[in-house]
Structure 1
Amino acid sequence: MEPFWLTNFDTNIQQLLAGLVNPTRTQIFSTLAFFGSPAVDVVLTLLLAGAFWIRRDWLIAVWIALAQLGGDAVTFVVKELVRRPRPLGQLIKDTGFGYPSGHTFSTAILVLTILFIIVPLLEDQEVQLLVSLLAIVWFGVVAFSRVYLRDHFPSDVLASLLLAIAWWEVARVAYIYYLESDFKFLKTNLMKGEN
């Protein structure tokens, strides 16, 4: 049995959004949800990791892929452990359990990767700001679409964001302590071995 405050939180937001529902918006948010799906996020992440691999930043490429794929594994395990049902009255039928939202989690990890890895590589501060804002807005749109389409309760989406941030911190700490120190030595030796 869920606590009253949680049910009340979800119900109030769902009722607020019910007035926005129309076929055009539903089609738009359905399309946006597709592009924010875990599968698309994995493909984009692997393309990003591939770009770093081509640049010979192998360890960063592997870290990017592991941050996303490891996070998706975390969401799968948590879904199976929690087994929270999805809301009734889905506008676009989705299967599986409601928490955590895979769309929200995967998109959050992709956006955090862009903000942490890509944005600092951009030299122009205006471009950095633009990319940062677009990434954050994209996350907001994907998260909103999951609630609008009634595929997740609002609390599923919010809690999924918090879970993604927790996973991100684990990955970021690994990056800072492992990649930036020990892997510099390994990377230097790998480069020497190629020459």
Structure 2
Amino acid sequence: MRKNKVWFITGLLATLGFIVLTLMVMTKSTLLVNFDATIQHITTPMITTPTTTIFSSIAFFGSPMINILLIFIVAGGLWLSHERLTACWVICVQLGGSALAYVIKNVVHRARPQFQVIKDTGFSFPSGHTFTTAILVLTILFVLIPYVKDAEIQLIITLLSLIWFGFVAFSRIYLRAHWPSDVLGSTLLSLSWWEISRLLYFYFLKLQTHFPKLKMKGVN
């Protein structure tokens, strides 16, 4: 019960934070412009050819296409384990969230940063790489890890997942594919969307009493 309350508050704060941030982006808030410029200024000296190669590879493996593919692999494993409703749920969370991020991106219509290290197209806010990676990591942490019984392995998987998310998020800033606030916005949106999806999950879990073949397990 306490964990559910914490997640509800987290989701609510993330939603409010995302709405405020989106309004700041759309009104071109001076505070936000200065924030983005400061972070970009700090990261500029880091740009070298070897580092760019590394972060380009990270960006590729953290792309929406790869993240969606990995979610389908996770869902396939859940399906084969007879966790069929859970399998459908994780796919819907990733695809539904990606669609939501795409719509917001086209409504906000924010241009990408100038002087991109690697040329990217489309609009900037929010970051699709960051959003889909966050959903993948949340799926690992709250759907897959409960199946792991060893506490040390759980900790290792958790740390590696969070580190991977950090690298993907930073790669978008480093490559100048996104403003830092785009990455922050995607993180807030992912937490908000996850909590909404989690509430729907438990709603369908209650329906399990009427549909006993829809076995669900693992989401916390």
- TM-score, scaled to structure 1: 0.94
Runs of 4+ in 1 over 4 A off after TM superposition: none
Report the CA distance between 1:187 and its aligned residue: 3.6
Q: 1:38 is matched with which residue?
A: 64
Q: Does 1:24 align with 2:50?
A: yes
Contact 1:68 1:109 in 2 (8 A): yes
Report the CA distance between 1:189 and its aligned residue: 7.3
Q: 1:48 is matched with which residue?
A: 74
The verdict on how the C-alpha distance between 1:187 and 1:120 changes in structure 2, with shifts beyond 3 A counting, is same
Q: Does 1:75 align with 2:101?
A: yes
Q: Does 1:114 align with 2:140?
A: yes
Three-state SS of the structure 2 residue aligned to 1:19 is: helix
Report the CA distance between 1:48 and its aligned residue: 0.3
Once residues 149 and 176 of structure 1 are traced to their aligned partners in structure 2, the CA distance between those partners, rounded to angstroms, is 39
Q: 1:84 is matched with which residue?
A: 110
Amino acid of the structure 2 residue aligned with 1:23: T
Q: 2:211 is matched with which residue?
A: 186
Q: Does 1:132 align with 2:151?
A: no
Amino acid of the structure 1 residue aligned with 2:44: A
Q: Does 1:176 align with 2:202?
A: yes
Contact 1:29 1:149 in 2 (8 A): yes
Report the CA distance between 1:177 and its aligned residue: 2.3
Report the CA distance between 1:184 and its aligned residue: 5.0
Q: 1:162 is matched with which residue?
A: 188
Amino acid of the structure 1 residue aligned with 2:213: T
Amino acid of the structure 2 residue aligned with 1:95: T
Once residues 6 and 150 of structure 1 are traced to their aligned partners in structure 2, the CA distance between those partners, rounded to angstroms, is 16
Amino acid of the structure 2 residue aligned with 1:131: I
Three-state SS of the structure 1 residue aligned to 2:178 is: coil
Once residues 109 and 96 of structure 2 are traced to their aligned partners in structure 1, the CA distance between those partners, rounded to angstroms, is 20
Structure 2 unpaired stretches of 5+: 1-26, 216-220
The verdict on how the C-alpha distance between 1:189 and 1:151 changes in structure 2, with shifts beyond 3 A counting, is closer
Once residues 110 and 2 of structure 1 are traced to their aligned partners in structure 2, the CA distance between those partners, rounded to angstroms, is 31
Report the CA distance between 1:183 and its aligned residue: 2.7
Once residues 71 and 141 of structure 2 are traced to their aligned partners in structure 1, the CA distance between those partners, rounded to angstroms, is 13
Q: 1:193 is matched with which residue?
A: none
Once residues 142 and 189 of structure 1 are traced to their aligned partners in structure 2, the CA distance between those partners, rounded to angstroms, is 35
The verdict on how the C-alpha distance between 1:27 and 1:184 changes in structure 2, with shifts beyond 3 A counting, is farther
Report the CA distance between 1:176 and its aligned residue: 1.9
The verdict on how the C-alpha distance between 1:54 and 1:99 changes in structure 2, with shifts beyond 3 A counting, is same
Figure out how many residues of one structure are paired with residues of the other and give that number.
189
Contact 1:41 1:106 in 2 (8 A): yes
Q: Percent identity?
A: 48
Once residues 174 and 214 of structure 2 are traced to their aligned partners in structure 1, the CA distance between those partners, rounded to angstroms, is 51
Equivalent residue for 1:97, pick from 98, 105, 123: 123
Once residues 143 and 183 of structure 1 are traced to their aligned partners in structure 2, the CA distance between those partners, rounded to angstroms, is 37
Q: 2:24 is matched with which residue?
A: none
Task: State the superposition RMSD in angstroms.
Answer: 1.2
Q: Does 1:153 align with 2:179?
A: yes
Contact 1:59 1:183 in 2 (8 A): no
Cα displacement string for residues 94-149 of structure 1 (whole angstroms, at most 9, x for unaligned residues): 11000010000000000001111011111000011111111111100000000000
Once residues 38 and 63 of structure 1 are traced to their aligned partners in structure 2, the CA distance between those partners, rounded to angstroms, is 18
- TM-score, scaled to structure 2: 0.83
Once residues 79 and 189 of structure 1 are traced to their aligned partners in structure 2, the CA distance between those partners, rounded to angstroms, is 35
